[in-house]
Structure 1
Amino acid sequence: MPNGFIGGIPEQEIAAIFEAKGVPGDAGAGRATRFLRKLSDLIARRWAVGEDGTGAVFLLAEKVSDAMNGRDGQSRPTLINGNDPISDHVWLVNGQLANAHALTLQWETGGSLAMIVEAGLGHLPAVTIDLRDRERSPQVQFFPNGCGDLDAMVTLYVGDQPIDEITMKGTLDDFYENTLRTPMTVSAGHSPDRIWKESSKGIPQPRPEESIEGMLLRHLKAVFPDHDPQAQSATADGYLDIAIHYADRTVQGHPARRCDWVLELKALADRTTNDNSSSTNSEDAITKGVRQTIAYSNIEQSLERALCVYDMRDVANDDETCFVHVQEDATDNKIHLWRWRLMRSAEEGRREKYPLKADSHRL
């Protein structure tokens, strides 16, 4: 392959496409996230034409032909076009929805998912869709580990409404609880990113903030499949961490981009990756984060903005003491100040989550 070509395409042509169209919304997304975004498009089309039904279940198979082996169902290769009803079926599909089968399982929205487990399909990633309340957007839940693990459930938000504060904070809380809270949750997430080099000593990996950003971006792309979360977008004032856009329309019907949120991330550590005391002043870092949030939010004209602090320090502080010196500036500029503490061990996580009176007697 000659130099200056990627996959037979000139690098200049690829650069021109990116310059004109920007980074694709699916860039960096995994298989499940791409599936969720495809499915969200299908739900939106069916919702817009008044889908006559109560809901459905979609099961994601690595290879549909293997999953269908020995099972009864009808092939619906044109399902992705959005012209066929989806309700009252259990669907077995691939990630592109191009290979779709309606299984001969009797599904009732709101009913038990045990029937899917009993059918031997409980291990497949599953999405349940509830369309019973026409006054609300479709209610969608994603079970990444399948119907056999109902505890690992993520609520997806579909539709064109701006993401409100409660929804965003809940999403970030879920991300923390399921992905970052203790070293074990980080490992259980099977992410290529790592936060700790040696958690028991508080030694972080190099650039933990960037690792958290990458993990969070993938989570946001899954939870908000109709939106376009992007990281490290270049602005006149630097690179913003995460901006969440929605492809909107003006009153005249022209394409437009609405920015719902700007998220500025800070990871605070008291040790360096070489196990030396960190020279970073935490108060200065938070002050800088507030200023960056103001600048990037003004550039993006975002509806909401937040400074998100991931605290890796071995200190018994709280949100109030962490943010007291910037609280007035944050209030003046309508910035949400949110903080999560990353535990250094599962034991520390248990002590924090389940405090006991006996703890006061510990030496």
Structure 2
Amino acid sequence: MPKKVRIALDAMGGDVGASVVIPGAAISLARHPDTEFLLFGDRALIEEQLAKHPAMNAVSQVVHTDVTVSMNDKPSQALRRGRRTSSMWLSIDAVKKGEADVAVSAGNTGALMAMARFHLHTLPGIDRPAIAAVWPTKRGDSVVLDLGATLGGDAQHLVALAVMGSAMASVLFNLDRPTVGLLNIGVEEIKGHEEIREAAEQLRAMNLAQLQYIGFVEGDGIAKGAADVIVTEGFSGNIALKAAEGTARQMAEILREAMSRTWRARIGYLFARDAFKALRDKLDPRKSNGGVLLGLQGVVVKSHGGADAEGFAYAVDVGYEMVHYDLLTKINQMLNRDGGAPLAPTTPEAVS
């Protein structure tokens, strides 16, 4: 019998907690029946939701705690107050102890990153983890990182992101040598900060067998799918992510208003509704939910705090796939192939 994928859930994380986490996990379970869950949080609230989802209830174990990490807590506060007792910490601890294969939380991003790094530690050669996510593009999907785990970083940090992002892309997209681009303000080699130009020189000189470096990519290249992996530091990456999410919502609102403005527009919508449905599905942010904290000695997935059940289900799906296709082994293989990439420790500023 194939090994079950064991997923630890911070059932109290996010804007509403168990009322989204449990239904979302139940949706993912229907897609991946070889899943088991460890649920950390208020037992009464969790069991109230489990009663509505018998299949989920049958494969779940509840561990009670009434300590939660606030969405407003600073990472240092969360470590002091929530260490060892909060639902977020306990879900990470389950991965550390080998009781779960992956932890998924919709809670405070900074706190999750701080706890995961403190408790799981980083992989050899990696100083700071990164948040990587799948980004829908014109030609398919790309992996984009870092989306906000750390601010800044030197050339070695960007090279490390390229290697880890390539591992994730190879796992998700079944690619032997993913293409990698560095996000920059132009494609010319003379443009950008010194760190970006130096990272480009290193990637070209290293000519790694596990990835194909293609050069600089401008902001519009993300949506075009200019590369399988787009690399940037967390400040720029988070701005790009929020700008894209806002643009997608704006487009949906503009189209909705335009299609209901006149009777001719409403009739036109009836003829084109299949096309509009395809567009809505492509731009649905729920389907891109779930950022992987890469660079840790364990798998942790961050869901958007405001995700609904369907959105949270996609984050659980991401966790399942990272375990099922053995992401950590892939990253270690890429870091150590050909003698290993020169990934010297860096000290970019952590997001608070």
Higher relative contact order (CA 8 A, sep 6+): 2
Fold equivalence (TM over 0.5): no
TM-score for the superposition, normalised by structure 1:
0.23
Q: TM-score by structure 2 length?
A: 0.23
Higher alpha-carbon Rg: 1
